[in-house]
Amino acid sequence: MLYIKSKYMPEGVDEALRSNFHYDYCRKLGQLKPLKIFKLRGDPEREYINACIANGQRLGDIKPALLYPYSGL
Q: For residue 33, what are the contacts with CB-CB under 8 A and spacing of at least 6?
A: none
Q: How many CB atoms lie within 10 A of CB 37?
A: 14
Nearest of 44, 59, 51, 40 to residue 2 by alpha carbon: 40
This model's pTM is above 0.85 = no
pLDDT tens digits for range 9-20: 889 999 999 999
Collapsing DSSP states into helix, strand and coil, what is residue 21?
A: helix
Instruction: Write down the pLDDT at residue 70.
Output: 65
Q: For residue 49, what are the contacts with CB-CB under 8 A and spacing of at least 6?
A: 59, 62
